[in-house]
Amino acid sequence: MQAFADLLERLLLTPSRNGKLQLLTSYFASAPDPDRGHALAALTGELDLKSIKPAAIRALAEERMDPVLFNMSYDYVGDLADTVSLVWQGEHGANRTPPLSEIVETLQDATRAEAPRLVAGWLNGLDATGRWALLKLIMGGLRIGVSARMAKISLANLGDVDITEIEEIWHGLAIPYEPLFAWLEGHTSRPSPDIPAPFRPVMLAHPLVPKADRDNANAIDPELITPDTFAAEWKYDGVRIQASVEGTVRRIYTRTGDDISHTFPDVLAGMTFQGTLDGELLVRAEDGEGVAPFNALQQRLNRKTVTKRLMDSHPAFIRAYDLLHDGEADLRALSFQDRRNALEDFIARHGTERLDLSPLVPVTNLQDLDTLRMNPPAPEIEGLMLKRWDSAYVAGRPAGLWYKWKRDPFLVDAVLLYAQRGHGKRSGFYSDFTFGVWKGEMLTPVGKAYFGFTDEELKQLDKFVRENTIERFGPVRSVTPEIVLEVAFEGLQRSARHKSGLAMRFPRINRIRWDKPAEEADRLETLEAMLPE
């Protein structure tokens, strides 16, 4: 357990991606089985210890110190694992550090009544870093700047193999992944899990205009995008998915390989083909023709079960972009032109109300495409995708083949109203900011953002919050309404759940308007005018 704790702490304190990869690869090379397998499961979000929840951890801490003092400490620190690890008073003589695998396997077999006693015993025997790591392990959501893909890349580095080789077999592997490590270390051949309709690593696009060049009118070479070189299609505001059918098995994966089939039984029923499609998961609009806003799709996501009423009111479907497999035939090495021809024939044979074809957008010249990008035929379209006609379907994000050209974001000037502490590396800073605009003579909240600013700007905002707090509501502070934030967002829609009646899509802080007084911030009418007709 101590080696895992040291790994988490060093990952948290290491800012560079390459540095994190080196730490992960080194750990997986040195840690024994099955410890490293359980660590991998925790890092990739595959570990689920159902026998104990955060509320039980909090109750353990409050049994050992004054609850009011604990709540004050939690409010100050902002992270439950951090707080408990710091305030926990261990017992004399309890100094055994158990292996990571022992902790995981014991909790997997424990009942909810037994688990708190077990955790308390381990907390007594660990130092502050070990306690913190144990609690992060139990509660999930490590927040140490390591994604599941980064963990898999470190495995690829360990075995000197391509990341796609790991992703293609990942869903057929079981914790603690001992056959996987044996293969990566050269002891056995590559595992061949017998899983029908497996996930195939997806192909991703680069931004046509990098963020640093967004204000440069000449950032794009007009000779780059020509009808003979590139195809164009709409970029819909949904969830990129992969739909795969093999025999009687039907699966829907996210682009990161998460299996979300159980949430969309209506879509599975419409997958009457054999093969693998790349597409966008969307919800039909009420007219049965158009696409509903992303908020409608959100009602369907992350549900353990879905009711018939919800499926009827929010009918989901797939808009197909690409064809990876037609039956047993692997088409990924073909050009996009050939795959597109095959896809059109495929949808003609297998299309249903749950599966249709993404239309191509005529490519003429860069100026006309720019006009289409900024004025798409529906508000649920984010912009354009540009794909070379001669591009094979290559896993990852290869350069020069596919580009995304999103519509410029909407901008609004809003006033900072509330702030809350972040988590993980940001647990010591106020980094979650609620902002509002004027409604009459009052400010009304319209959204919340927790990124878009630099580390230096975060320090400045945190300092302002601490020095200008008006009231406290648990972990939330209201502040003097003086700071104006320029907020960027991708879309806007009406929402009965929000006091303002509006909900922003993907809001983030674009810049801090230190120069602008709060009374000059935008009004609610300004946002309402941005609503799609």
Q: Which two tokens stand for residue 58?
A: 């909090």
The predicted structure's pLDDT at residue 125: 86
The predicted structure's pLDDT at residue 303: 84
The predicted structure's pLDDT at residue 217: 65
The Cα 344–Cα 359 span in angstroms is 10
The Cα 210–Cα 178 span in angstroms is 41
Round to the nearest angstrom and report the end-to-end CA distance of the chain.
Answer: 57
DSSP 75-86: HHH--HHHHHHH
Identify whether 247 is part of a domain.
yes
The Cα 531–Cα 533 span in angstroms is 6
Question: Residue 338: what residue type?
Answer: D
- Is 247 found in the same domain as 372? yes
The predicted structure's pLDDT at residue 532: 76
- Is 432 found in the same domain as 401? no
Q: Which residues are catalytic?
A: 235
Identify whether 160 is part of a domain.
no
Query: Which of 203, 467, 442 is closest to 331 using CA atoms?
Result: 203
Instruction: Please say which residue of 406, 437, 471 terminates a domain.
Output: 406
The Cα 389–Cα 387 span in angstroms is 6
The predicted structure's pLDDT at residue 533: 67
Q: Which residues contact 440 (CB under 8 A, 6 or more apart)?
A: none
State the maximum Cα–Cα separation within the chain, in Å, rounded to a whole number.
77
DSSP 350-362: H-BTTEEEPPEE-
Query: Which of 413, 414, 419 is closest to 432 using CA atoms?
Result: 419
Q: How many Cβ atoms are within 10 Å of 44's Cβ, its own excluded?
A: 21
Sign (positive or negative) of CA dihedral 13, 19, 21, 26: negative
- Is 418 found in the same domain as 431? yes
Identify whether 374 is part of a domain.
yes
Name the pairing type of β-strands 410-421 and 249-254: unpaired
The Cα 190–Cα 180 span in angstroms is 7
- Is 316 found in the same domain as 263? yes
Give pLDDT tens digits for 218-250. Answer: 778 878 889 999 999 999 999 999 999 999 999
SS3 label, residue 59: helix
**Any idea what the Cα angle at residue 113 is, between residues 111 and 116, rounded to 5°?**
100
| DSSP run (H or E) holding 411 | strand 410-421
- The one-character DSSP state at 396 is B
Identify whether 394 is part of a domain.
yes
- Is 218 found in the same domain as 294? yes
Range of 256's domain? 206-406
- Is 480 found in the same domain as 357? no
| DSSP run (H or E) holding 343 | helix 336-350
Identify whether 516 is part of a domain.
yes
The Cα 154–Cα 25 span in angstroms is 5
Give pLDDT tens digits for 166-203. Answer: 988 888 899 999 999 999 999 999 998 778 899 999 99
Identify whether 130 is part of a domain.
no
- Is 394 found in the same domain as 280? yes
The predicted structure's pLDDT at residue 215: 66
- Is 370 found in the same domain as 249? yes
Q: What is the domain count for the chain? A: 2
Q: Which residues contact 351 (CB under 8 A, 6 or more apart)?
A: 357
> For residues 252 and 260, is the Cβ–Cβ distance under 8 A?
yes
Identify whether 29 is part of a domain.
no
Which parts of the chain sit beneath pLDDT 70? 92-95, 211-212, 214-215, 217, 424-425, 427, 533
- Is 449 found in the same domain as 361? no
The Cα 177–Cα 106 span in angstroms is 18
Distance of CA 41 to the CA centre of its chain: 17
Q: Any idea what the CATH number is for the domain that residue 459 is in? A: 2.40.50.140
- Is 255 found in the same domain as 345? yes
Q: Which residues pair with residue 381 across a beta bridge?
A: 236
Instruction: Please say which residue of 372, 406, 440 terminates a domain.
Output: 406
The predicted structure's pLDDT at residue 474: 75
The Cα 414–Cα 486 span in angstroms is 6
The Cα 352–Cα 374 span in angstroms is 31
- Is 374 found in the same domain as 240? yes
Instruction: Please say which residue of 364, 384, 406 terminates a domain.
Output: 406
- Is 242 found in the same domain as 364? yes
Identify whether 45 is part of a domain.
no
Q: Any idea what the CATH number is for the domain that residue 232 is in? A: 3.30.470.30
pTM of the model: 0.77
> For residues 291 and 282, is the Cβ–Cβ distance under 8 A?
yes
Q: Which residues pair with residue 320 across a beta bridge?
A: 279, 357
The Cα 505–Cα 490 span in angstroms is 5
Q: Which residues pair with residue 420 across a beta bridge?
A: 432, 476
The predicted structure's pLDDT at residue 494: 84
